[in-house]
Chains A and B, each alone.
Chain A
Amino acid sequence: MIRRLLIVNRGEIALRVVRAARELGIVSIVAHSEADTDTLAVRQADEAICIGPAQAAKSYLNIPAVLDAASNCQADAVHPGYGFLSESADFARSVKEAGLTFVGPDADIIARMGDKASARQTAMAAGVPVVPGSPRAVESLEQAQAVAEDVGYPLLIKAAAGGGGRGIRVAEDSEMLAQQLPQAQAEAQAAFGDGSVYLERFIARARHIEVQVLGDGQRAVHFFERECSLQRRRQKIFEEAPSPVLDTPTRQRLCESAVALAEHVGYLGAGTLEYLFDEQTGEFFFIEMNTRIQVEHPVTEMVTGVDLVRAMITLAGGEPLRITQDAITLNGWAVEMRINAEDPDRDFFPSLGTVKGLTWPTGPGVRVDSGLYDGYKMPPFYDSLVAKLIVWDASREQALVRAGRALDEFRLEGFTTTASLHRRLIEDVDVKAGAFDTGFLERWLASPASGVDLGNAKPQPDIAKGAINE
């Protein structure tokens, strides 16, 4: 039983956890940086405690500072939110060793599912399909060709030591494989000091579909899937539940595979299993698991009626799952539009300022998760996500119409957001038809259909790195 919950996060998710704690009769304490003394989460929480300077490395990522704060405010549990320390096995372990409850799975499970190779092994052991490929690094062309027979073309040749899209080549047929393999090995050796490469099936137009689960350490249940294919630079922009592309038997097999994997590892808390879905073949492949609550969890809450954040807190407190799988049903359709403080006409460069003239959309089927309020000054140190506009309706078609109505009601002066982009996106013929893959949004942004001012794009050609969180 949790009584005093330390929330180590900021922005809308800190507020989301404060609200859940309040509804559960738990004292909420927000751990914040010096730059976040006036956030809505801090204002709404029962208590607040400063854990360090503005830079995340010195506050939100500072494990000793967080443990000190937990001790000083006599917290008995810690909620990490998403991003920051939420998937740090070290942090989960330290919290437990300090005698506190970590709202999430065990450190061992975080470590096991956070490592790509061991997550893949675990999925295979649980009978969950993974992207077909070579079981380990391929040494010779003969070996590679034998793997290719099984897996089929086109193939990706991936450097074992690569990552984030680096060290990847495509082979369309066996001739290209023969030509590319030695080059890929030499390149991997030069770039990473390790010439090992492995092979994986290349799914040209994949969709990103993920399954929400809750587990109590023994039993797990799923809350159906979310479709998150609309991404820019691997950042999700627009999500929905359910997926417009799954038929009922495929949905059932997908969701049951997620439960099998969660139960296989004895999962505790809220988790998400991410899959690639090949629309051409109807196959799905597990890619990774996020062992935390996700940004886009509200769309699942809207279509299932279950409060996932409250549930993960009670599960962490040691209560068993009370809900059975057959009691969880899909009702209607929900979409989430991420409102980022970025200017779509300036290559999504951050747009800072003070919130003025804020009017949130309201009315039937509309939910806003945000830490913004009139007079709030945006700090420049953190993620640009400032609000999530979530809209529910009985059907997908109606949900998109209602999303347009909600976006039309939304007013914010002081800085530019991605709201205008969503207004155009939901009018797109392909988006309306649910016809997209993970490459769709970037193609759309580069086309006149997006209405993005391409002449004005890249005013800051020197942007070295994009946001990497989530």
Chain B
Amino acid sequence: MTTQQIQAPFPGVFYRQASPDDPVYVKEGQQVNPGDVIGLIEVMKQFVELKAEAAGTLKSFTAENESVLEAGDVIATLEVSE
């Protein structure tokens, strides 16, 4: 079983949901496919979607909603499907 750490591609603020009233994009333990949106990163007032690169189970989030990230910070851990 391989695990993959999903990292912040650039610094910014991480969001797990599109807006405070929306549900989270992905819950812990949920299955994801490549291209599924995991969260948003806000950088200089632009919002960029962070997407899964592989299929698998999203085991856990290391970054909390609205947390401040540096480039390379681990956001989540993905258990990649065989």
Contacts and interface: CB of A to CB of B under 8 A. Distances in A.
Interface string A369-405: 0000000000011111000000000000000000000
A267 B26 CA distance: 51
Interface in A429-470: 460, 462-469
A463 B45 contact: no
Interface string B26-69: 00000000000000101111111101000000000000001010
Given A54-B68, A55-B66, A464-B40, A381 B13 contact: yes
A293 B24 CA distance: 39
A462 B46 contact: no
A84 interface: no
Given A55-B13, A380-B11, A380-B12, A464 B48 contact: yes
Contact of A462 (B11, B12, B48, B68): B48
A54 B44 CA distance: 12
A350 interface: yes
Nearest to A464: B47
A468 B42 CA distance: 13
A352 interface: yes
Secondary structure at the B interface, as helix, strand, loop or mixed, is strand
A341 interface: yes
Contact of B46 (A53, A54, A55, A349): A349
A202 to B, nearest CB: 30
B48 A382 contact: no
B46 A463 contact: yes
Contact of B44 (A382, A460, A462): A382
Nearest to B9: A460
Interface residues of A, number: 22
Chain B's interface size range is 10 to 19
A355 to B, nearest CB: 15
Given A55-B66, A350-B43, A352-B43, A463 B48 contact: yes
Contacts of B49: 462, 464
B10 interface: yes
Given A54-B68, A55-B66, A465 B46 contact: yes
A164 B39 CA distance: 25
A53 B66 CA distance: 11
A341 B68 contact: no
B47 A463 contact: yes
B40 A467 contact: no
A466 B10 contact: no
B48 A352 contact: no
A465 B49 CA distance: 11
A350 to B, nearest CB: 4
A466 B46 contact: yes
Contacts of A465: 45-47
A256 to B, nearest CB: 37
Contacts of A55: 13, 66, 68
Interface string A312-342: 0000000000000000000000000000011
A462 B13 contact: no
B45 A469 contact: yes
A460 to B, nearest CB: 6
A64 B13 CA distance: 23
B35 to A, nearest CB: 10
A381 B48 CA distance: 13
Contacts of A466: 45-46
B50 to A, nearest CB: 9
B60 to A, nearest CB: 24
Nearest to A34: B68
B47 A467 contact: no
A352 B11 contact: yes
A466 B40 CA distance: 14
B48 A467 contact: no
B47 A341 contact: no
A468 B66 contact: no
B45 A384 contact: yes
Given A55-B13, A55-B66, A464-B40, A383 B47 contact: no
Contacts of B66: 55
A464 to B, nearest CB: 4
A341 B10 CA distance: 14
Pairs of residues from A and B, 6 with the lowest C-beta to C-beta distance, nearest first: A350-B44, A462-B49, A464-B47, A467-B45, A380-B11, A384-B44
19 contacts: A53-B68, A55-B13, A55-B66, A342-B44, A350-B44, A352-B43, A352-B44, A380-B10, A381-B42, A382-B44, A382-B45, A383-B44, A462-B51, A463-B46, A463-B47, A463-B48, A464-B40, A465-B45, A467-B44
Given A341-B44, A380-B10, A464-B40, 7 more contacts: A55-B13, A350-B46, A352-B11, A380-B44, A383-B45, A384-B44, A467-B45
